[in-house]
Every structure is written in C-alpha cells, then in structure tokens.
Structure 1
Amino acid sequence: MKIIGLDIGSYSVKAIEVEMGLRQLEILDFFEEKLPLTLELPKPEVVKEAIKNIFLKNNIVPPYKVISSLSGLFVSSRIITLPFADKSKIKQTLPFELEEHIPFALEDIVFDYQILAKGEKNTTLLTLITPKDIIQERLSLFEIPESSPDLLTMDAISLFNLTKFNWEEPGEVYALVNIGRSQTALCIVDDGKINHVRSISIAGQAITQTIQENYKLSFEDAEKAKIDNGFVLTDTTNVTADQAKFSECIKKALDPLIGQLNQTFQSNRSKGHGVVRKLFLSGGSSLLRNLPAYLSQELSLEVVPLKILNSYTMNNIADNDENNAKVSTVLSLALGCVGRNYSEQFNFRKGEFSKYQAGPLGKEVRYLLGMGGLIIAILFVNMIGNYFILRSTLKKIDQQMVEVIKKFPLKISDNLLEDATQLRAFLTKKSKEQKEKIEALGGTKGDTLTTLQILQEVSALVPKNVLFDVRELSIVDGKIKIAAISDSFNSIDNIEKSLKNNPKFTKVAKGEISTASDGQNKDFTMTFDIKTAKK
C-alpha cells in the first residue's frame, strides 16, 4: 500500500511517499514545493497550487492513502480523568465534560481522544479539540479529490509515530521537538507513551525578523543571512565582535522559545511526570549552526539532532542533516497510516468531514460500494439458483439409479435404497461373494487346471457311446476324486486308460466299483493328480 504524508507549512508544502509491504516499509521519495517568502502567511490559492503541483509534477497517482495535519496552534489539547472505565460510558460522557474546558459550543467543534491510562475505576484521556471552520478551511485547499487526506491529525501528536518503527527508546523521559518557520511542535514521551503535546508560536521566522530589525535588512535578505550564516555561540572565546553580535541577535529571538520549553518541562514535572532528560531536534530551523549545543546548555539536558533516515534499510532519500531535519514531520504523518497505527491516530476527519461521506470522492466511493453490493447480490442469487438446479438434477439421478438397481438379480430392501452408504456396503459384499464363487469354479490364474477345464478334459477323453455320468468332483491340493456312473467294467477300464494317456494327469487309480441303484450300471470312483507345469 502506498502512503503519502503531507505537511502544509508556511515555508513550503512537503510530501513523502512510502510503501508498506507485508513486513517491510520502504521510503520511496521526498518532495518539497516552496511557498513565496513573505512576512504574512501564504494565501490559500497559493497553497492550493503548491499542493496540486506536489501531486502532478511528481506523478503521484492513485491508489494511495494521504495523511495530513492541522497546525497545533489551532488545536487544543486537554487531559481529562473520568471516574469510570467503561468505553461506551466514556463516549457518552466526554462531550459534556469538554464543555467545561472549551470556549466553543459542542456543535462548532470536532474532537477526538485516546486513552492514556486505565484503572479499575477511572480512565485518563488525552483529548484534542479544533473548531469546524479550521477543518473546513484546511480541506478546501485540496482541488484534486483523490489527494484530500484520508486522515487529518495534529502535527505535534504525529511526531510520536516516529517512535513506532525502528526506534531505540532512550530509557528515560524525552521530547521530540520540531522547529519550523512559524511554530515549534513538542511531544513529550514517557515509557513509550505520549505524556504531553504542545505547539509554540515561536520558530524560525522570529529569528529572521530579529535579524531584519537589528541589521536593517529586507525580509528576504534576513532569511538568506539566517540560512547561509546563522549560528549561536556557547563560548565567545576567540570570536570577533561581529560574530558575537550576530550570535546574540539570534539568541535574542530564541530566548522566548527556550523559556516556553523550560516552562512546559517544569509544568509537566509538577503534574507528577518524569524529568525530561533528552531532546530530539528536527525541522528546517533546527539546522541553525550549533543550535543543539546551545539548547543543551540553556535547558540543562541532552539535545541531539533527530537522525531518522538511517533507521530504515529500504530508503531512497539521501541520509544527510538537511533531509533528516526536513522529513521528520512528513514521515511521522505517513507512519500514522501503517498497520495498527491507523486506528490509534487522532483523526478530525469524522462525521460531516469524513472523506467517504462528503464531496465528489465520497459519491464515487458510495457508487463503487453500491456496485460491489449489487454484484455480490447477483452472485448470491446465481449461487442459490445453481443449488436448486443441482439438487433437482441429483434427485432425478437418484431415481434413475433406484430403477436400474431394482433390475439387478438381487433382492434389495427399500431401506438400503434410501441410504447410499449402506447400499454401497451391501453391493460391495455381494460383489465379493460372487467373485469368490466364480474363483471357486474358474480358479485363479496360475499353473493348475481349473474345475471347468478338468471336466472338459475328462469329458473329451470318454467316447460318446460310453456312459460316463459324473456325480461328484472334488479337488484338494491338486488331487482330484471323481464319483461317476458307467455301463460296464470294460467302460470303466477304458475311462481309466484314457485318463492315464492324458499328459495333464498322473497317478490315475480306480477305486471301489459297485452295482448302481438301477441294478444294471456301475458306480465307481477314480482318483488322479494334476501335473504342474515346469518352470
């Protein structure tokens, strides 16, 4: 699945393209469309064009999911503890609890929440709230319906997504800080969970304006001086007066930001949370030379640049300081759409603002869903129809089978005809019995003569004018005994002589001879062996 993380800032519009396979995340590309450099925020039509260019110029085509964010300056966060743990009760009660914390009517806001902690009798929630007109204003910037975000969150809260993939937890409370042009986003993490989020309206533009005022430059020249030559000193040894002056100018702009960060960390600690020991720094303005060391000195904690790209083996973006600083926000957004993360995201696109319930794309989706439902219904009806046709066909086949079986020279009860399993067992048994009888008469393939062959051989030896009526014939281990009737002693001798002359028989011997019951013919027995073929 392709995912687009889209960050709409005041300096530029940035996008990152990632693809999630079965087990591996690949960072495909990073795009940036810079906005006009002015003191004021860029006009909506300019931002619209930049967003459109991001998709069209870079050939970003569907299917994909888009996740974007609102500035934290337009989002309020509240931590609320409720005296129960039932999820349905939380959902019903929370709106009324929020009324005490917001200066807006409930019908004018959209909120979302996540559970931070849950006990047997209470639940602590982190709730984000924003006015509906802010959401409407943001969504109006998307002229291409497909590029409209599937998920709309808050920039500071999304930084937490960076800790979900290929991240080594520092083992202490830490802060993720992104310094952009017009705001600084802050997310404090403790024991793998969000502890606090905040957006501060002091960032890179404050430095540019301070340089502009102190050195009487145009806004554009002050921006260039900051990017090309900006730095802050932690030690004034062996520096020129001009270097010290320039550094102090920038420090003057940073001091209010440092004060806000310190205040946030202290406030968080006063609520019983751990002390922030480490700060990961990102954002375009974090590239100011020696800024990590200066912040570390002023905040009394470890500050390091956020090196996020080297955490991904499948990455097509150059792993350098500038790219690491710029991609952190868009990558954190994109990661919100990966796996189970999606369901854990704060999302302001709900209700009337849901992507799939409003606007042109919503109509297309509803049309596709309707067509899909119609196709499923047709397939279901077809399946039911085929079922009844097959059932009727099988019933006719059963009737034909019963008619055929009734013609067999076997007596088969109606109960057997109704039970296929029992009928199969019955016919198998009868087939086996018939086979045994046939084998008994016809023998099996081998070297000895069969019963029928013996009778044929003996009958062929006796002259037709001689009475020879076989009454009994038995074969035991190749030894044959015949009980028969003939008309005289002479005929019996001739029969004995004929058997002895046959090459297939041996050890021919007459048995007892007696007068038959008619008083004229003779009863006699005769035994002989069957010669076996030489191998």
Structure 2
Amino acid sequence: MSRKFLGLDVRYDSVSAVLVTSSLRETQIEGCLRVPIPDTGDPAAGLRSAMEAVQAGMDTAQAYCIASIPADEISFRNLRVPFTGEKKIDQILPFELEPIVPFPLENLVIDFQTLPHAGLGGATDLIAVAAQKSTIETYLDAFAGVGIDPQILIPSGYSTAVCLNRFASPPDDWILVDIGSHRDTLFFIASGQVRLIRSLPSFRSGKGDTGIEAKIRQTLLAFGNLSAEPLEPQKAFLTGQGLNGRGEELTGTLEKALAFPVSRSDLLRCAGGKIKIASEQEWKPDEMDNALALAIAQIEGKPRLNFRKGQFASRRNWAAYRNHLMRLGVFAAILLCLAGLDIFIESRALNRRIDRIDREITSIFRSTFPEIQRVVDPVHQMKIAMDSLRNETFIPGDSNARILTINILDEISKNVPDEIDVEFTRMVINPEDILISGNTENFNSVDDIQTHLEKIPIFKKVTINSTNKDQNENRVQFKMKVDL
C-alpha cells in the first residue's frame, strides 16, 4: 500500500513542487515542477495563481502536503533555558523570547528544536523559531484558496539540511548555504544536528568582506564567542533557486575563500538509488531539492519544526487517507462476513453433533433400561437408575460399609485353592454376616476351606455350623457362618 506526499517549497518569486509516492518497496518521484509567482502587486493572489498551476501540472489529490516558507520570514534564536522536558519548554519559551524578539508575543507562532549538550544538568540548549501569525495566516489562506492544506509548515531549507545529513554522508561539522533571490540562509550542522540558522542579505558578487564567505566567517566567529562549543565546518553544500546558473562560479569562489570543499546539493544522486525517478531530464537539483527534502523527511520520520500549532493546528487530512480507509473498510467487512459465516457453519456443525450425541444417549438409555418407557432427560434418568442399581449390588442395610456382593464372591474365589473340590450351593448375605452352604469331598476339606476364608480381610470370623456325610453322593455337606 503506497502513500502520496507533496513537498511545496514556496519562495518569493516561485513555487517548487515534488510529488512522491512511498511504499514498503520503494520511494518514487511521480512529478516535479517549478512555477513562477506572477508579480500582480498582491503576493497572496500571485501565490494562489502559482498553486493553481501546480495542481494543474500534477495529481495532488489525497496527497499528504508539507510546505516551507521563506526563511527570512522567520526569526531564529539560540537559547539555553534552565529546565528540561519539551512540554515545559513549550509553555515557558515565549517568556524567554520576550526580551529578544521585536514583536509582541501574542502576535507570534513559536516552535523549537532541542540541542543535545552534555553536562548541562537541568538546562537545555535549543533553537527557537518564531513567525508572525499574520505571515502564517497569509500563506495558509493562499493554500486554502486552491484546496491545499499542508499538515506541516516549516522554514525553507531546514529539511534539506536534515536529508543531506542522512544521505550525503557529510563530515561531523558542515554548512548548508540556501541561496535565494533576496536572501541567503545558512544552516550550520554539528554532529548530525542543526546547531545554528541564520538568514542573511543575498550574495551580490561581492568581494572580500562583502561576499557570502565573509558572512559565513562572521557568523562562525560570533557563535564561537557565545558558545562553549564553536563550530568548525569541514565542508559546505550549496542549494537554492537563487543559484540561477551561478552554481559553478559560486562553488569555486566559496571553496577558495573558505579553504574547505564546497559541493552543490543533489539529493537524488546522494540517495544512491533509494529514491527513484522516471526521467531525470526535468530534474534540477538547485530548484527541486528543497521540495523533495520536505517529502523525504516526512517519509523518513525525521524530527522537524512545525508552525501548524495553536490556532493554526492542522486538521486531520482524512481526504488523503480516503482510498486507504475505503479499502480497509471493504477488507474489514469481508473479514467480518467470513468470520460470521465461519461461526454460523461451526454452530450448525456443533448443533448437529449435539443432536447426534443426544440420540445416542437416548438409544443407550432405552437399551439399558427398557422398562422405563418415558424418556425426558436421559442423562439425569440414567444417573438415578444407576444409583438404584448400584445400591442393589451393595450389602443391604449397610450404607457405611459399602461392600459389594461381587467383591465378596471375588475374595472367596481367590482364596479357596483350585485343588479343593468344593461346590457352594447357597449363600445368604446379611448386613452383619454371610451364611454359606455347600459340599466337598471330605471333612478335612471343610477345615481347609474355613482356614482359607479366615484369611480374607473383610471376614472377621468363620464358623463351621454343621457337617454331614451324604451316603448317596459320598460327599460332606457343610454350613458356615461368616461374621463381617
């Protein structure tokens, strides 16, 4: 499943737009263009006209939009505040900025980026950015006029610094110089973190102290006087729509003046194939890198500044997810239907199985107890019948001993040896004793039978009541009493 991201880099004289689709497999540039802003005397009307041209040139529907505005519209301040925690900083930061910004606090939108710094204890270094609410409102109104609602609004060039740090493998300390038509913006990066941002008057082919290289040295010197960790850049990158064919000239001039390598930014090349594009013929890094970086930083999930907060907080862009939500809804509905069907089929199968088992129980009950004609609850009725049958197999009247008749017969059978010729003809089992009648071959066998029966644990005493010689059958008739 892929998503669309629209990066809009807004400058005073033009708008650069890059449309990117991202999926688990790849990131693809679907379209890019740069539209001049017509000079109509009304900047908002000119921006709306340019945005209409962007919409006409690419399919921006349902795209997640990230936009940047000129950095010179924004104030940048490096501060150290005596507390930690982003929520607390967000609450207290306006009061920390009040003495050093030339505008009333109620007229400003403020955001910040914390800077890692060891050994500060309970303090935090940060870069605070502030823009006038009227400025933010002007840009948002211009976007809304053509149906675009950027979810993120940041200073131009900031995302480019973040993405170059990700893809270009720069040294620990380096500079990004964003060349504009009116002003240039410097981003100083140390240890992978933007440490300082400054917007300066645009380069005008000056020499010596009037050139951009002099501004860079002055900025580094001023920052070194205020910070315990001075910046020592080892490389610089150039980008921006203001290069306008002067890229090679300015690269050579800066490299000679700064005495370290200077390269032109090209995110597409630095990404090394991680960002695909159908045709590179229309791709101009100076004009498109900032817009591409806005989309890529969002895809990569990089931390960023954002002026869409407070009264300008963005609404959830449900339109961008409409197709995905519809697909998800259809998929969920199909799953629910399949789950319901599975439950229905399983329920019917269980009911059929229960009916079959009930029929089997009834059949077993009827075959076991044919005398019971009316079958209401075969399980319960079978328990009652089994209890009754079980009681009949115990010695009558002795509910505590619970000696089974079958157990008595088993004990007698096991304890009377096979070599004794004996026939038991009658056995009367009472609660306290057993009367046994039978015949055997001689009187000694009667004594042996008595001896063996006395060994049975459940028999307390075995007494021979009578013995008689049967002349007709030549066998000894005997009667015994067994006390339980």
Same fold per superposition (TM over 0.5) = yes
Q: Secondary structure at the match of 2:284?
A: helix
Verify the 8 A CA contact 1:4 1:15 in the aligned structure 2: yes
- How big is the shift at 1:267? 2.2
Separation of aligned partners in 2, 1:329 and 1:164 = 14
- Give the corresponding residue for 2:359: 404
Q: Are the aligned partners of 1:7 and 1:69 in contact in 2 as well (CA < 8 Å)?
A: yes
Does the CA-based 8 Å contact 2:48-2:146 persist in structure 1?
no
2:174 paired residue number: 174
Residue of structure 1 equivalent to 2:393: none
**Aligned partner (choices 207, 222, 232) of residue 267 of structure 1:** 222
The answer on whether the counterparts of 2:37 and 2:49 sit within 8 Å (CA) in structure 1 is no
CA contact 1:7–1:14 (8 Å) conserved in 2: yes
* TM, length-normalised to structure 2: 0.62
Whether 2:293 is the aligned partner of 1:332: answer: yes
Q: What SS does the aligned partner of 1:290 have?
A: helix
Q: What does residue 280 of structure 1 align with? A: 237
**Alignment CA distance shift 1:316-1:297 (3 Å):** same
Mapping 1:187-198, distance limit 5 Å: 187-198=187-198
Mark the CA change 1:201 to 1:51 in structure 2 (over 3 Å): closer, same or farther.
farther
Q: State the 1:105 CA deviation.
A: 3.8
Letter in 2 for 1:318: E
1:34-45 alignment, distance < 5 Å: 34-36=36-38, 43-45=43-45
> Cα–Cα, structure 1 residues 298 and 149, in superposed 2: closer, same or farther, change >3 Å?
same
Q: CA deviation at 1:65?
A: 1.4
Q: Secondary structure at the match of 1:50?
A: helix
Query: What TM-score comes out, normalization by structure 1 length?
Result: 0.57
**Counterparts of residues 505-520 of structure 1 (less than 5 Å):** none
Residue 317 of structure 2 is aligned to residue 315 of structure 1: no
Contact 1:161 1:333 in 2 (8 A): no
2:27 matched to 1:25?
Answer: yes
Q: What is the rounded CA distance, in whole Å, between the counterparts of 2:70 and 2:207 in structure 1?
A: 25
Deviation at 1:383, TM superposition (A): 12
SS in 2 for 1:409: helix
Relative to structure 1, the CA distance from residue 299 to residue 74 in structure 2 (aligned partners, 3 Å threshold; closer, same or farther) is same
Structure 2: how far apart are the matches of 1:368 and 1:317? 27
Superposition deviation, residue 111 in structure 1: 1.7
* SS of the residue 1:147 aligns to: coil
Q: Is the 8 A contact 1:85 1:118 kept in 2?
A: no
Q: 1:71, 1:154 within 8 Å by CA — same for their partners in 2?
A: yes
AA matched with 2:113: Q
Mapped partners of 1:41, 1:253: distance in 2: 36
Task: Tell me the amino acid that sits aligned with residue 285 of structure 2.
Answer: N
SS of 2:157's partner is helix
Counterpart of 1:406, as a letter, is I
The 8 Å contact of residues 208 and 214 in structure 2, kept in 1 or not, is answered as no
Structure 2 residue matching 1:31: 3-state secondary structure: strand
The match for 1:184 is 184
Matched AA of 2:36: K
Structure 1 match to 2:116: 117
AA paired with 1:404? R
Q: Secondary structure at the match of 1:10?
A: coil
3-state SS of paired residue (1:140): helix
Q: Could you list the runs of 5+ residues in structure 2 that have no partner in the other structure?
A: 369-377, 384-484
Partner of 1:301, secondary structure, is: coil
Change (3 A) 1:10 1:106: closer
Structure 1 Cα separation of the partners of residues 347 and 238 of structure 2? 74
Q: 1:306 to 1:387 in 2, by over 3 A?
A: closer
172 and 319 in structure 1: CA distance in 2 versus 1, 3 angstrom threshold? farther
Structure 1: stretches of 5+ with no match in the other structure: 208-249, 418-535
Measure, in 2, the Cα distance between the counterparts of 1:160 and 1:6.
Answer: 16
Deviation string for 1:116-135 (max 9, x for gaps)?
Answer: 21665333222221111110
Q: Secondary structure at the match of 1:274?
A: coil
8 Å contact kept, 2:151–2:308 = yes
Alignment of 1:407-418 (within 5 A): 407-409=362-364
Equivalence map 1:19-418=2 (5 Å): 19-36=21-38, 43-56=43-56, 58-117=57-116, 121-143=122-144, 146-163=147-164, 165-169=166-170, 171-203=171-203, 207=204, 250-251=205-206, 255-270=210-225, 271=227, 272-286=229-243, 287-288=245-246, 289-312=248-271, 313=273, 314-318=276-280, 323-341=284-302, 344-356=303-315, 400=355, 403-409=358-364
What is the CA distance between 1:110 and its match in structure 2? Answer: 1.6
| C-alpha separation in 2, matches of 1:34 and 1:130 | 24
Secondary structure of 2:168 counterpart: coil
The answer as to whether partners of 2:18 and 2:292 remain within 8 angstroms in 1 is yes
| Shift in CA distance, 2/386, structure 1 to aligned 2, threshold 3 Å | closer
Q: Note the C-alpha offset of 1:108.
A: 2.3
Paired AA for residue 239 in structure 2: S
Whichever residue aligns with residue 192 of structure 1, its letter is G
How big is the shift at 1:294? 1.4
**Change beyond 3 A, Cα 1:41–1:182:** farther
Q: Give the aligned CA root-mean-square deviation in angstroms.
A: 4.3
What is the Cα deviation at residue 347 of structure 1? Answer: 1.0
> Relative to structure 1, is the Cα distance of residues 395 and 325 closer, same or farther in structure 2, using a 3 angstrom cutoff?
closer
Compared CA separation, residues 370 and 133, structure 1 to 2 (3 A): farther
CA distance in 2, matches of 1:296, 1:62: 43
Shift of 1:389: 9.6
SS at match of 1:29: strand
CA drift of 1:61 comes to 3.4
Task: Give the CA deviation at 1:307.
Answer: 3.3
Q: Distance in 1 between matches of 2:289 and 2:324?
A: 36
* Counterpart pick for 1:7 among 6, 9, 16: 9
Residue identity opposite 2:291 in structure 1: V
Q: Which residue of 1 aligns with 2:406?
A: none
The CA distance in 1 between the partners of 2:77 and 2:107, in whole Å, is: 17
DSSP-derived class of the 1:276 partner: coil
Code of the residue aligned with 1:315 in structure 2: it is I
User: How far is 1:158 from its partner?
Assistant: 2.1
Offset at 1:327? 1.7
